[in-house]
């Protein structure tokens, strides 16, 4: 029987192992962490509350993830969105309903609306399979998203809203993102507004008990089929010799006919390869360094904001907290507000103490929902920059010039090594949905070479 190795036990690696084992292949998953799930991390607290420190949402169009949750018996529930969204722009506090702050000045609304329409027009002209072949790819790739914002958005409030949208989607500063990359990314997820909306968008639903337990259940079904998952096995070297592959970890050596690498690109670049990766391939992996985000949670004895007519969602141009959400599970008497510190702010605040982050987060919540927000019963946060096996989130970010120089190498096999991971997906790039689709695509590639 042919032997296959999958590197990484996130959703992409698990999906690849699923497809290979379903085809009757023997599969071993090598995972560097002491747990499965990758960028899905859920903490179950002693008081019964659970927090998703990693990816947490599902939305329309994410058919693979909904099907997986249903198959494994993990129910989903909609985000709480009833009530007003708090907005703070240019020092003015307002409120609105929906996904666009229509309480902005009319000139800002017009500027923002026209710019969003132009973004859609440009993004839906991008080739999802090969963005570097799109019309005007060179010019789009040479620009940063920040360049585009400065050209298209003249009103300061409209510009602020769009910057918050971009940082919320990418966890990176607009100046650090290739415009071609961002257009491709948003098109892959059904459009820019789909990626920032709750009802009808990518933030519509949560998975009961969290995302990591879903990954654990997924692995459980694979183990019943004979898939082996080895934790604490960080891959250091991959050798290809005489029609076979040798995979070396810190303590062991594994043999396989082929390998699927589902590690994040920046980590895959740190593996030693013999024969070496082509220069373009290595540059492609290194370029896709992740963004940076910190998730902050304030737990209250009750969701006091709901009785005041607030949904618990807020957007603001005041750093470092630009967005927050009510993530209280159904049936929970306590209330939980979750917010993000993203991009360059997250790089800065990753080096501060939890107490300093807590103070800043509570300052923001007070500005959103009043003085009662100053008194949570508990505070938690997680900074992905300090995660050895992620180094950031949400996904790899292509800088200007990436796609048209080395983007063609993204999914290109290196001998008997194939590539998965959400960054390699043509649909829902950066999401767990994209991770699952990429794992299945990589497995299909491998099976195409099966004897």
The answer to the question of residue 341 being in a domain is no
310-316 β-sheet, strand order: 92-96, 84-89, 310-316, 321-326, 335-342, 293-300, 378-383
- Tell me the whole-structure pTM to 2 decimals: 0.97
Contact 23, 447 (CB under 8 A): yes
For residue 24, the 8-state DSSP code is T
Q: What is the pLDDT of residue 451?
A: 65
- Segment 221-257, tens digit of pLDDT: 999 999 999 999 999 999 999 999 999 999 999 999 9
Contact 146, 173 (CB under 8 A): yes
Contact 5, 254 (CB under 8 A): yes
- Owner of token pair 């999914």: 411
From the list 370, 354, 215, 253, the residue with the least C-alpha distance to 297 is 354
- Segment 190-212, tens digit of pLDDT: 999 999 999 999 999 999 999 99
How far apart, in Å, are the Cα atoms of 171 and each of 67, 85, 177, 292, 371?
A: 28, 21, 10, 5, 28
The answer to the question of residue 176 being in a domain is yes
The answer to the question of residue 70 being in a domain is no
- Segment 120-157, tens digit of pLDDT: 999 999 999 999 999 999 999 999 999 999 999 999 99
Query: Token pair of 70, please?
Result: 């249903």
Q: What is the pLDDT of residue 100?
A: 76
- The answer to whether the peptide bond before residue 275 is cis (omega within 30 degrees of 0) is yes
Pairing of strands 84-89, 76-78: unpaired
The answer to the question of residue 389 being in a domain is no
Q: What is the pLDDT of residue 98?
A: 80
Which residues are within 8 A (CB) of 92 and not within 5 positions of it... i.e. 6 or more apart? none
Q: Report the CATH number that the domain containing residue 105 is assigned in CATH.
A: 1.10.405.10
β partners of residue 272 = 237
Contact 284, 272 (CB under 8 A): no
Q: CA gyration radius for the chain?
A: 22
From the list 293, 283, 288, the residue with the least C-alpha distance to 341 is 293
The answer to the question of residue 368 being in a domain is no
The answer to the question of residue 443 being in a domain is no
Burial (CB count <10 Å: 0-12, 13-18, 19+), residue 447: middle
The stretches in the chain having pLDDT less than 70 are 1, 451
CA distance 134 to 125: 7
> Could you give the number of structural domains in the chain?
1
Q: Which structural domain, as residue segments, surrounds residue 88? A: 84-195
The answer to the question of residue 241 being in a domain is no
The answer to the question of residue 293 being in a domain is no
């Amino acid at each position: 029987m042919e032997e296959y190795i999958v590197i990484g036990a996130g959703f992409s690696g698990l999906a690849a192992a699923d497809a290979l084992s379903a085809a009757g292949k023997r599969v071993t998953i090598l995972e560097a962490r002491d747990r499965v799930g990758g960028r899905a991390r859920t903490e179950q607290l002693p008081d019964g509350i659970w927090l998703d420190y990693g990816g947490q949402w599902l939305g329309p169009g994410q058919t693979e993830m909904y099907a997986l949750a249903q198959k494994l018996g993990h129910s989903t529930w909609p985000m709480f969105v009833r009530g007003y969204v708090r907005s703070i722009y240019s020092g003015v506090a307002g409120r609105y309903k929906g996904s666009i702050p229509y309480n902005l000045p009319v000139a800002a609304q017009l500027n923002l609306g026209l710019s969003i329409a132009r973004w859609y027009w440009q993004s839906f002209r991008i080739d999802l399979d090969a963005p570097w072949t799109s019309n005007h790819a060179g010019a789009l790739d040479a620009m940063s998203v920040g360049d585009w914002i400065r050209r298209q958005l003249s009103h300061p409030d409209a510009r602020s809203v769009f910057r918050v949208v971009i940082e919320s989607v990418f966890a990176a500063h607009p100046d650090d993102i290739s415009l071609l990359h961002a257009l491709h990314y948003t098109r892959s997820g059904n459009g820019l507004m789909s990626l920032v909306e709750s009802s009808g968008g990518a933030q519509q639903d949560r998975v009961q008990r969290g995302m990591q337990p879903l990954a654990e259940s997924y692995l459980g079904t694979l183990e019943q089929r004979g898939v082996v998952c080895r934790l604490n096995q960080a891959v250091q070297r991959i050798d290809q010799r005489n029609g076979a592959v040798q995979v070396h970890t810190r303590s062991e050596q594994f043999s396989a006919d082929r390998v699927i690498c589902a590690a994040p690109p920046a980590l895959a670049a740190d593996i030693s390869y013999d024969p070496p990766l082509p220069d373009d391939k290595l540059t492609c992996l290194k370029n896709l360094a992740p963004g940076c985000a910190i998730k902050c949670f304030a737990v209250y004895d009750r969701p006091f904001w709901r009785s005041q007519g607030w949904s618990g969602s807020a957007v603001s141009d005041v750093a470092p907290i630009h967005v927050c959400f009510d993530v209280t599970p159904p049936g929970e008497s306590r209330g939980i507000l979750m917010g993000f510190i993203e991009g360059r702010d997250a790089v800065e605040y990753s080096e501060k103490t939890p107490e300093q982050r807590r103070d800043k987060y509570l300052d923001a919540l007070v500005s959103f929902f009043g003085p009662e927000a100053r008194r949570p019963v508990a505070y938690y946060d997680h900074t992905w920059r300090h995660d050895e096996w992620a180094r950031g989130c949400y996904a790899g970010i292509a800088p200007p010039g990436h796609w048209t120089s080395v983007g063609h190498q993204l999914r290109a096999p290196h001998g008997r090594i194939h590539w998965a991971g959400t960054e390699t997906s043509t649909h829902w790039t950066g999401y767990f949905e994209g991770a699952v689709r990429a794992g299945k695509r990589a497995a299909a590639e491998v099976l195409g070479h099966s004897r």
